[in-house]
């Protein structure tokens, strides 16, 4: 019998490439049974909060993001207090002053909760929810000028904290390979990496200062091969580019990938002309007996 979902469990952060609106297309490919859920590129966590597994390992290279989730789990009351303070700071002067703090020595002494509250505040008030960092690892999205942004979504934050505390959810921050190194047979690994760019796109640093290259995409494919051989269930989301389709067409006698096209609506992009409905791929890997 399928467990009842908590509908309050939903992303608290706006995230470019978030999968919340794609869940109806993705869930038909989810495995019916699995042991541990792994998500090496957690981002906003839409798939995690939809599946609500009892045991999961979630990771993101963005240390501030993982710190935010840890604070929701362990320091909720203090976090809520600071977010309610930030609700009085929805103006450009306050925004740019708070955004600039990570350029100062003061920021080095901030507590994990102070950093988490700042991240949520900037995410909810920046332009179009575009979480973007420059090459120095500093948040650099402009002010969004929203009339009444939801900075402190207390019911959702409480639901997330309760879920994290009542289940076995392990947080990691580092390379995707390290995040999955101990994934046992029967695990479900969902991978939503920074997408491969179309040829006409300009390179964009994005969520971390290191970016994600095509060599990284190849390394990700190699890891997926290893996980499938180990007996894990694999799903990968990515852009519908020739490079990605060619990469996952490279199969072996025992490993194959089925490339499915899904339609996604992208509302977060620095270029308004690149928002709207686009085609993406959902790749399902399996071991051929």
Listed range (35-39, 89-93, 178-182, 205-209) with the worst mean pLDDT: 205-209
Looking at the chain, the whole-number percentage of residues with pLDDT higher than 90 is 76
Confidence of residue 208 (pLDDT cuts 50, 70, 90): low
Instruction: Identify the pLDDT of residue 77.
Output: 98
Is a pLDDT exceeding 80 seen at residue 197?
yes
Q: Which domains does the chain have, with CATH numbers?
A: 20-63+155-287 (3.40.50.150), 68-153 (1.10.1020.10)
Q: How far apart are CA 14 and CA 44, in angstroms?
A: 7
Is a pLDDT exceeding 60 seen at residue 210?
no
Q: How far apart are CA 167 and CA 230, in angstroms?
A: 25
Is a pLDDT exceeding 80 seen at residue 150?
yes
Is a pLDDT exceeding 70 seen at residue 272?
no
Is a pLDDT exceeding 50 seen at residue 168?
yes
Q: What is the mean pLDDT of residues 24-28?
A: 93
Confidence of residue 267 (pLDDT cuts 50, 70, 90): low
Listed range (43-52, 149-158, 248-257) with the worst mean pLDDT: 248-257
Instruction: Identify the pLDDT of residue 203.
Output: 46
Instruction: Identify the pLDDT of residue 204.
Output: 46
Listed range (77-86, 97-106, 199-208, 256-265) with the worst mean pLDDT: 199-208
Listed range (16-30, 98-112, 139-153) with the worst mean pLDDT: 16-30
Instruction: Identify the pLDDT of residue 121.
Output: 97
Instruction: Identify the pLDDT of residue 266.
Output: 65
Question: Sign of dihedral through CA atoms 112, 113, 114, 115?
Answer: positive
| Claim: this prediction has a pTM higher than 0.85 | yes
Q: How far apart are CA 43 and CA 17, in angstroms?
A: 9
Confidence of residue 205 (pLDDT cuts 50, 70, 90): very low
Backbone phi and psi for residue 23, each to the nearest 5 degrees, phi listed first: -50, -45
- Alpha helices, DSSP H, located in the chain: 23-26, 46-51, 63-74, 76-86, 92-99, 112-125, 154-166, 176-179, 214-230, 242-247
Q: What is the mean pLDDT of residues 58-66?
A: 95
Listed range (155-159, 174-178, 199-203) with the worst mean pLDDT: 199-203
Backbone phi and psi for residue 94, each to the nearest 5 degrees, phi listed first: -65, -40
Q: What is the mean pLDDT of residues 206-215?
A: 71
Instruction: Identify the pLDDT of residue 289.
Output: 62
Residue whose structure tokens are 């900037």: 122
Q: How far apart are CA 87 and CA 121, in angstroms?
A: 8
Tens digits of per-residue pLDDT, 74-126? Answer: 999 999 999 999 999 999 999 999 999 999 999 999 999 999 999 999 999 99
Instruction: Identify the pLDDT of residue 1.
Output: 42
Total Cβ atoms within 10 A of residue 147: 5
Instruction: Identify the pLDDT of residue 61.
Output: 94
């Amino acid at each position: 019998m399928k467990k009842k979902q908590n509908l309050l469990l939903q992303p608290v952060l706006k995230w470019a490439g978030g999968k919340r609106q794609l869940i109806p297309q993705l869930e038909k490919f989810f495995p019916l049974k699995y042991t541990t859920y792994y998500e090496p590129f957690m981002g906003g966590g839409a798939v995690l909060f939809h599946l609500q597994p009892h045991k999961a390992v979630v990771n993101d290279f963005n240390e501030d993001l993982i710190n935010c989730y840890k604070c929701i789990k362990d320091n909720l009351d203090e976090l809520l207090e600071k977010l309610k303070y930030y609700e009085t700071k929805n103006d450009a002067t306050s925004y740019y002053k708070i955004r600039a703090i990570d350029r100062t020595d003061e920021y080095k002494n901030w507590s994990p909760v102070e950093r988490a509250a700042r991240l949520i505040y900037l995410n909810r008030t920046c332009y179009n929810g575009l979480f973007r960092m420059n090459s120095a690892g500093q948040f650099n999205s402009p002010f969004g000028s929203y009339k009444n942004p939801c900075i402190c979504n207390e019911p959702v934050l409480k639901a997330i904290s309760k879920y994290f505390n009542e289940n076995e959810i392990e947080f990691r921050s580092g390379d995707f390979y390290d995040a999955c190194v101990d994934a046992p047979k029967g695990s479900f690994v969902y991978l939503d990496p920074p997408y491969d760019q179309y040829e006409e796109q300009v390179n964009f640093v994005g969520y971390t200062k290191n970016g994600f290259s095509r060599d990284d995409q190849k390394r990700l494919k190699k890891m997926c091969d290893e996980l499938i051989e180990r007996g894990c269930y694999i799903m990968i989301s990515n852009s519908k580019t020739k490079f990605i389709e060619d990469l996952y067409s490279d199969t072996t006698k025992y490993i194959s990938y089925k490339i499915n096209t899904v339609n996604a609506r992208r509302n977060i992009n620095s270029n308004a002309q690149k928002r709207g409905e686009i085609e993406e791929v959902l790749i399902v890997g399996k071991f051929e007996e």
